Structure 1
Amino acid sequence: MDDVGYLKTKYMAQIESPVDIVAASVLTGDNPETPCLTVRFWILSTVMTIGLSAISQYSYFKPFLWQFSFVTVQVLSYPLGKFLEWVLPKSDISFFGQKVLLNPSEFNFKEHMLICVAAVSGGGFAEAINLITIDSLILDKNISSVMDFGKSLALIIFTQILGFGISGYLLNILVRPSAMVWPSTLVNVTLFNTLHKRYVNGKVILKLVVLMLIILITFVYQLFPLYVYPELSSIAILCYLGYKSQLAINLGSGFRGLGIMNFSFDWNIIGLIQPLVTPFWAQVNFYAGSVFMLWIIMPILYFGFNAWDSRKHGIVSKNLYSSDNNLLGMDYFLSIDNSARIKTQTNSTNLKLSNLNMNSTVGAGSFIKSSPEIMIPAYMIMACGFAFAAIASTISHTWLYYRHSIKKRITGNNDQNDDIHVKGISVYKPVSGFLFFTIFLVSLVGLVYIGKNSGYSTSNWHVLISVTLSVVLSLPIGIIQAISNIQISSRIFFRVIQGLLSQNNNAVSNGFFTLIGSNTISQCLEMVSNFKMGLYLKVPPRKVFLSQFYGCIIGAITNLAVYIIILRHKKDELSSILVSSNLDNLGGSYIEHANGFGKDWSIGSARKFYISSIIWSIVGPNQFYGFSSKYKYIYIVVSLGFLLPIPFYYLYKNNPERKWHLVNVPLFMFGTLAVTMVSTNYIISGFLVGFLFQFVICRYCHEFWEKYNYLSSGGLDVGNELCIGFLFICFSILGKSLGIGRWTIPKENLESCFYEKSM
């Protein structure tokens, strides 16, 4: 496939895999007798899934959501597996008439991978919890009843396993081809090989020592930007040079400005797109999009044209304002949702308006009487347009570059080109296509029922449209992720589509539609990625599927159980927080707030989810989408997104030696809207690290890069997450101090950029 031409090197003829980075990281041999679903697997997968899921759900109600990556679960589960290898007797037991060995052999990499797949699949925070939170805290539903508990659990499970069902039709296209590398899986494979002393490249004992050292050093290092000296997270050079200058703040701040000459030494920010893993060509496209939006387009719109009265707001503000430039509070959004419900009579439950601060600038009464116009900051207007453009360009780019390969894979005419890893995994039975279809069908029927009968006011057709779009988009988004390590977000796309389909609908309907669409794609591609990792490690596909499915079920039950326990004790407090008029800026970083790891309760994720649902479902059709709207020109950006891959494709076809195929418009478009998710201080530091490892070291110290690059990436991520976990336990759970003082006194912000509150 064209987009991976960069991977071919002069050593290609000397290696067994068509892609040299895979050959350097992945072994080709296999022992089909290696036990997988052992007693150790069932014990550790269950315990770790429950534990990680409980922690993630607890942190959902804190200012900082603590989740666990695959590499961290790998490192945490390894000593537990070795411990069970040591303590379990080497005898057998009878289980349903079958003899089962308690401790069949040494703790091996195959059962280790399956434990991690289960724990990561179920150990995170379920996106459906946001919708359940709106139900229980705003609509005041009692999900503790057996019926509502069952519906909530079904919602969590179906919105995850629907993606599992879709993954079946993608395996031939996204897993079997060598070009579909899935770079992040190579980090996991490298760690498995290192931990289990499997010789790939270099001395194993040395690589293990290097891994442990990187984890330890990163853990200690991250204490400084996260706690001791948080100014390291965002060093705004322009703010120091132009003290209290509004221009310097707009240009240089990482939290409220464009991030020009802004450096970060925090791995949470530097590692936004995994710079040691993501191919350099992909990073160039992504960061080029960010620079284009933040350092070229925004200054022109803001300083040059004052587009959409943008100077009334912060240059990258993510808040919403009234026409008289007052910040809109939560009471405003609750009142619009309540009015829409009354108007459409879609739900007899009124929102909890008694909790609102009616003295705020734009309250419930204001909306009902005058419905003030919402003012959107210029960056958010552009980001929404580029979000659609990213999806449009993903479709056209995939069609141009991959249509012939996709057709061959679908018809089975390309099987002779399977590499040695595909041939190695072929000795195991694949997952039945009937099983994929059954899971898909059951999930679809379940979601149709829930949409009609659980207060979400979502018609059967809307559920079918959301599912159809997720099926269609999973392939192009999956191809981009498989070659670049970056997943194009589809959340805004689904929100806008639902708003267009359902004029004046309620917020939970928009949230339900978006949850089905975007979460299905994410879950589908997670399953596909795990199948690719299983292919690299020669783990039977059926057991990979079973482990992810098992983890999903256990995690869903744990998520909901912990949620209900916390709700029973903190419902009034959480409800008050959720509907409080005061809104933090909808962007920014947890580092910016002094209580990022504090004991205070928070519910920021649900607030953002709910406000976005209202904006794109109720307000959106009236003010944003119409061709009479002042934002109508944003449709030009969407059209450009679809058309822009075409000239680059024909430039490549006519001049293949010029590397035009490395221009990836979807990644460029996605880079333009990264600030909707993070602060702007990622650009310089992230690019410099990526340039150092993926260009300089990869090109000029390639042997060293092959041995230690992915190992270093894993060590950095693990050390960082362990440090976050340590601080989270100390402050959020135990409420204890570290016993060491901060080097600076907390102040209004961390950058010496003294911006106005309205920004």
Structure 2
Amino acid sequence: MSEKQDLDAEKDFYALEKAGNHDSITHLDEEPQENSKIEAVRLVVPLTDDTDLVCITFRFWVLSLLFSIMGSVIYQYYYFRVASGTFSIYFVNLASYALGTSMAKILPNKSISIGSYSMSLNPGPFNIKEHALIGIAVSTAATSAYAIDILTVTDLFLKHRINTLGSFVLIFTTQCLGYGMAGVLRKYLVYPAEMVWWTNLVQVVFYNAMHNTDEFKSKKMIRGWSYMKYFWVVCFSMFVWQFLPQFLAPILGFISWICWIKPFDMNMWGIFSTYSGGGVLGFSLDWTSIGGSTMWLPLSAQLCNLGGVVVSYWIMLPIFWVLNIWDMKTFVKPLTPSLFFSNGTRFRVQEYLNPDYSLNEELYKAAGDTAMMTPMYALEFFYAFVALTACLSHVFWFHGGTILKSWREAVGHKDEDVHAKMMRAYPEIPQLWYAGFYAVMFGLSVMVSEVYGLQIPWWGMIVACLLAWVLTLPICAMTAITGYGPGLNIITELVCGYMLPGKPIANMAFKCYGYTAMYQCMTLLSDLKLGLYMKIPPRSMFVSQLWGSIVGGVFNYITMIAIIDAQRPYLDGTGHDPAGLWTGAGPNVFWGSAQIFGALGPQRMFNSDGIYGYAYWGFLIGAILPFILWLLSKKYPKVKWEKINFSIIAGGMGGFPNGFIRGVTGSLIVAFVFRYWLYRYHKNWWSKYTFILSAALDTGAAFTGLFLFVFISGGISDKLMFDAPSWWGNYVFPDGNGEFYGIDRCGSSGNWTGGLP
């Protein structure tokens, strides 16, 4: 989670505006009363529109399908890997522009018909609305659907694979419930000028710069290269480099250099291992551990997040480990979402479940011991509670006036935004359509829950959807105005845990429907705002978003099945990946939460007189801390107290429940170089290169992951499965004395298997 404070955000957009030579864009209306109230929007979003441009074209269908498949596969691939990667929307923008303009030149000017529907293969030049709509469809598809977590966990840990039809219905209903909500709420969360949805302004500049053909072609980068040539050279270079840390020499992704001094010392390993310990002062040369966003996100937000990581994992974890606080060493690994008994034996909830996967109380009590979390994992929940209330409190005290004013004007229809007025040229989608669509998705949600044993009764589904509605209104308003919002999946877990105790699948499904509907609604509202800025007809927007969800869901599922079938032993813990890259960290964290809140229940794990009773104090602490900062801001107004965001700090403190703390040092270096030194002292260079460089690096790294999955790791065929040559840089190996070196060259000795999962 990252904060985009208004001042920092506007500075970024001013720099982008200069980079894009926005003065070349012709404005039809220059009167102040006919422009946006928000200064950054006035500078970035042009008051122009061509109502004759066609959005849904043959090129749209082809290119959106191509990049949606690519994006959904890449995202799903990284869900199962140690390294986290993304599918850059900037790459989509650049590549679709190149392909779209090429198709406009070579496709014949004739029509194709499907029944009564006719479409021209080449309706004319590749236009900006068509281009933006491709990006919107791909951004909807290029993610990992939250329902995939349920399907993965039940398959890996419960040995139960929901059939294809049930899986598709589960995926589509969780993804599409947000459409109905977004349609109903768009009047209040999209149309008002104050609902900026800040990240979209960068996209607006990007599209307008690219389609300002003369300027785009004339702008030269280093060595006189064009934007496109610069992008592809950097992208290819990163693609080649990433083969080292992701395949040939994974040690480059886990450099625990202090641990090398004494690799078999338990304290050294627990503190300094970047693979399974605290990762203190470790670093990584794998770009996916850093990410391009560190080059342009507000520095204050990044420092809050990384500061939280340092406090929790570089300061608190070593103290807990060395002093063995709360018997930390009993659980072998300092960071794991697994549950244990008090003697350190692994607790496997599968052994205590009924045939319907609910908890068998008698079997559990007969074990004579209670399931426990590792100390750092237990603190994760405390931090999550702090982050939630701290976000609400911070926004209330520092941004409450802005939000209240925005809502009053939105509800009262005062001072309608000029961009909303311009959208009257296009037919609107009736509210009834959205309501009907929501009703259909809700009915299918109840059906899939009843038929496929998701353990949620019909009334539970109503509660989940009501909770989503309650959360969506304030959180989306905060995100639209301030640029950030909290993660609220923990609330849905808590509610379901008390409502349906002993049912892990119900908890996962309830969280999926309660949280994902809100999150998906937020994503769709943001896209609707981009459509408003780009003057894309509402009905074309609906088609694009729905199309992206369908394609993304299908290929998320196909990729998930392929990876589970190819890497099952590594993902379910029955085998060990020699390269240390297939760990199933995502499914393990999701399943760990399902055991805690679902099978065992929060009333058992977090009872007030239990060892984890302190967790609920996080709600109060998170609410109070921003209030203290607000009081200080009144007494010392010259200090920018609002830059200290305890919600983001707490998010960083609980950011690594499964370890792999390897990108902190690199992220700090990149953030200071780009967001402090270059931004402050070389702003012209920063505004010209940063976003295109970020896009190229992220895209190159993502393509390496895709290539490895498809052609090296057996993603499409067992015949395409190869191991890198065994050598010091890529293998976990014994030294002949019963000791083992881990992937980061930290080790273990005797029966202590800390270096291995």
Give the TM-score normalised by structure 2. 0.82
Deviation string 1:641-662 (CA, Å, 9 cap, x unpaired) is 1222212223335544322222
- Other-structure match for 2:695: 714
State whether residues 190 and 710 of structure 1, in contact with CA within 8 Å, keep that contact through their aligned partners in structure 2: no
Matched, 1:550 2:544: no
- Other-structure match for 2:682: 701
Matched, 1:102 2:121: yes
- Which deviates more from structure 2 when the two are superposed, residues 306-315 or residues 641-650? 306-315
Q: Distance in 2 between matches of 1:738 and 1:454?
A: 38
Please state whether the residue corresponding to 2:528 is helix, strand or coil. Answer: helix
Superposed displacement of residue 256, structure 1: 2.4
Deviation string 1:191-247 (CA, Å, 9 cap, x unpaired) is 544554557799445333332232123223323322343322232232234544433
- Other-structure match for 1:589: none
State whether residues 184 and 435 of structure 2, in contact with CA within 8 Å, keep that contact through their aligned partners in structure 1: no
- Other-structure match for 2:233: 213
CA RMSD of aligned residues (A): 4.1
- Other-structure match for 2:309: 290
Determine which of 28, 31, 50 is the counterpart of 1:31: 50
Q: Distance in 2 between matches of 1:216 and 1:405?
A: 45
Q: Give the unaligned 5+ runs of structure 2.
A: 24-34, 221-225, 733-740
Superposed displacement of residue 510, structure 1: 0.9
**Structure 1 residues 21, 724: closer, same or farther in 2, change over 3 A?**
farther
Amino acid at match of 1:237: W
- Other-structure match for 1:233: 253
**Structure 1 residues 186, 750: closer, same or farther in 2, change over 3 A?**
farther
- Other-structure match for 1:361: none
Q: Distance in 1 between matches of 2:318 and 2:337?
A: 16
Please state whether the residue corresponding to 1:235 is helix, strand or coil. Answer: coil
Q: Distance in 2 between matches of 1:685 and 1:476?
A: 35
Matched, 1:444 2:463: no
Determine which of 338, 344, 350 is the counterpart of 1:319: 338
- Other-structure match for 2:461: 463
- Other-structure match for 1:338: 354
Aligned length: 714
Determine which of 529, 552, 561 is the counterpart of 2:526: 529
- Other-structure match for 1:496: 494
Superposition map of 1:188-587 within 5 A: 188-189=203-204, 191-193=206-208, 195-198=210-213, 203-204=218-219, 206-271=226-291, 274-304=293-323, 306-313=324-331, 314-328=333-347, 332-338=348-354, 341=357, 367=364, 369-412=366-409, 427-478=425-476, 481-482=479-480, 488-504=486-502, 506-557=503-554, 559=556, 582=574
Determine which of 118, 139, 163 is the counterpart of 2:178: 163
Q: Distance in 2 between matches of 1:653 and 1:679?
A: 40
**Structure 1 residues 484, 231: closer, same or farther in 2, change over 3 A?**
farther
- Other-structure match for 1:735: 720
Please state whether the residue corresponding to 2:274 is helix, strand or coil. Answer: coil
Amino acid at match of 1:281: S
Superposed displacement of residue 249, structure 1: 2.7
- Other-structure match for 1:635: 616
Please state whether the residue corresponding to 1:441 is helix, strand or coil. Answer: helix
Q: Distance in 1 between matches of 2:620 and 2:754?
A: 33
State whether residues 387 and 670 of structure 1, in contact with CA within 8 Å, keep that contact through their aligned partners in structure 2: yes
Please state whether the residue corresponding to 1:282 is helix, strand or coil. Answer: helix
Q: Distance in 1 between matches of 2:628 and 2:315?
A: 22
**Structure 1 residues 743, 201: closer, same or farther in 2, change over 3 A?**
farther
Q: Distance in 1 between matches of 2:665 and 2:479?
A: 23
Determine which of 727, 738, 753 is the counterpart of 1:757: 753
Superposed displacement of residue 745, structure 1: 5.3
Q: Give the unaligned 5+ runs of structure 1.
A: 346-364, 585-591
Please state whether the residue corresponding to 1:316 is helix, strand or coil. Answer: coil
- Other-structure match for 2:6: 4
Deviation string 1:152-175 (CA, Å, 9 cap, x unpaired) is 332211111112222245546654
Superposed displacement of residue 715, structure 1: 1.4
Q: Distance in 1 between matches of 2:480 and 2:395?
A: 12
**Structure 1 residues 258, 420: closer, same or farther in 2, change over 3 A?**
farther
Q: Distance in 1 between matches of 2:634 and 2:83?
A: 48
Deviation string 1:322-348 (CA, Å, 9 cap, x unpaired) is 2211233xxx22122237857779xxx
- Other-structure match for 2:28: none
Deviation string 1:17-38 (CA, Å, 9 cap, x unpaired) is 7777767765554433222111
- Other-structure match for 2:27: none
Matched, 1:746 2:728: no
Give the TM-score normalised by structure 1. 0.82
Please state whether the residue corresponding to 1:43 is helix, strand or coil. Answer: helix
State whether residues 383 and 672 of structure 1, in contact with CA within 8 Å, keep that contact through their aligned partners in structure 2: yes
State whether residues 320 and 375 of structure 1, in contact with CA within 8 Å, keep that contact through their aligned partners in structure 2: yes
**Structure 1 residues 666, 62: closer, same or farther in 2, change over 3 A?**
closer
Matched, 1:619 2:600: yes
Please state whether the residue corresponding to 1:262 is helix, strand or coil. Answer: coil
- Other-structure match for 1:85: 104
Q: Distance in 2 between matches of 1:369 and 1:439?
A: 49
Q: Distance in 1 between matches of 2:384 and 2:54?
A: 45
**Structure 1 residues 174, 593: closer, same or farther in 2, change over 3 A?**
farther
Determine which of 78, 93, 99 is the counterpart of 1:74: 93
Superposed displacement of residue 133, structure 1: 4.8
State whether residues 293 and 672 of structure 1, in contact with CA within 8 Å, keep that contact through their aligned partners in structure 2: yes
**Structure 1 residues 242, 428: closer, same or farther in 2, change over 3 A?**
farther
